[in-house]
């Protein structure tokens, strides 16, 4: 969607306050707005997030249409000599290939069990900075990396903001083992029957074959008609089911969320 977007500069706010990049001068109100696409908004948020990157950091490199802009920017700054001694830990095979093409040095959690900063997108963000992630299928590796970092910066456009997780009506992904996947999907759907849950296997290709993650697993997508309530209780219940590997709720992990929207770039911080 194209959104009117005036010219903005930054301002600082305290933790848990919203920092909005405001018009640069009173006269800017008379300037014709620039119409930006959703992808251009994602790029603005991604570039803002890369401002948190410092030389010498170990970085978690996210996956998806928003995170790719951040990875591209990090590669650009390395080539320009503005960043040095960066080590990236990719969250998918796709991001690994992108980072290699950009000349970003890579490693893994075995070598660097503590990550300084991770930058990634999200599919949903609630008012408490809880997230739904993984509609691209990389949720397990994303959660492994992003739960191991000192700071996790999330980059989204404003269409990803919801009142509660699942509120977009789109999928909340759960990674499961392929063995007896129908059995596991049915158990997941039954678990959230009170929320009107419908569980569907993610498929891909012309023949609708099961989508296979980088880890060789399947993805079951959960669709909710109602709020699922206590997120931590829901998380525990999902993970107790044999056959479940991980789910796409990222609870209490994000430290900063950067939102690009019609009023500019909003930065939301959370106390650690």
> Which residues are designated catalytic?
142
Rounded to a whole number of angstroms, the distance between the first and last alpha carbons of the chain is 34
Burial class for 20, CB neighbours closer than 10 Å (0-12, 13-18, 19+): middle
As separate numbers, helices (DSSP H) first and strands (DSSP E) second, the chain gives 6, 20
CB-based contact 62:142 (threshold 8 Å): yes
Q: Which two tokens stand for residue 100?
A: 């290699």
What is the per-residue burial (b if ≥16 Cβ within 10 Å, else e) of 184-208? bbebbbebbeebebebebbeeeeee
Burial class for 25, CB neighbours closer than 10 Å (0-12, 13-18, 19+): exposed
Enclosing H/E stretch for 264: strand 264-269
Report the alpha-carbon distance of residue 157 to residue 118 in Å, rounded. 18
DSSP 42-93: HHHHHHHHHTT--TT-EEEE--STTHHHHHHHHHHHHHTTSS-S-EEEESSH
Q: Which of 19, 25, 75 is nearest to 47 (CA)?
A: 75
CA dihedral 64, 70, 72, 77 (to 10 degrees): -170
């Amino acid at each position: 969607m194209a959104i009117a977007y005036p010219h903005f500069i930054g301002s600082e706010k305290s933790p848990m306050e919203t920092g909005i990049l405001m018009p640069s001068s009173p006269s800017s109100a008379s300037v014709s707005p620039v119409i930006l696409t959703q992808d251009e908004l994602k790029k603005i948020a991604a570039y803002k997030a890369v401002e948190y990157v410092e030389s010498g950091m170990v970085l978690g490199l996210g996956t998806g249409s928003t995170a790719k802009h951040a990875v591209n920017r990090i590669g650009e700054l390395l080539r320009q000599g503005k960043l040095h001694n960066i080590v990236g830990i990719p969250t998918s095979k796709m991001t690994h290939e992108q980072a290699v093409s950009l000349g970003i040095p890579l490693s893994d959690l075995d070598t660097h069990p503590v990550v300084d900063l991770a930058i990634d997108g999200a599919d949903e963000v609630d008012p408490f900075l809880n997230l739904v992630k993984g509609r691209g299928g990389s949720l397990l590796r994303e959660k492994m990396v992003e739960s191991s970092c000192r700071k996790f910066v999330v980059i989204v456009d404003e269409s990803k903001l919801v009142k509660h997780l699942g509120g977009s009506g789109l999928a909340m992904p759960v990674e499961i083992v392929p063995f007896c996947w129908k059995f596991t999907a049915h158990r997941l759907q039954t678990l959230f029957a009170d929320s009107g849950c419908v569980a569907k296997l993610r498929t891909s290709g012309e023949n609708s074959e099961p989508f296979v993650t980088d880890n060789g697993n399947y993805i079951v997508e959960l669709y909710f008609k109602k709020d699922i309530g206590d997120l931590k209780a829901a998380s525990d219940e999902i993970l107790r089911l044999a056959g479940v590997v991980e789910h796409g709720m990222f609870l209490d992990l994000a430290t900063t969320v950067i939102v690009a929207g019609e009023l500019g770039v909003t930065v939301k911080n959370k106390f650690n």
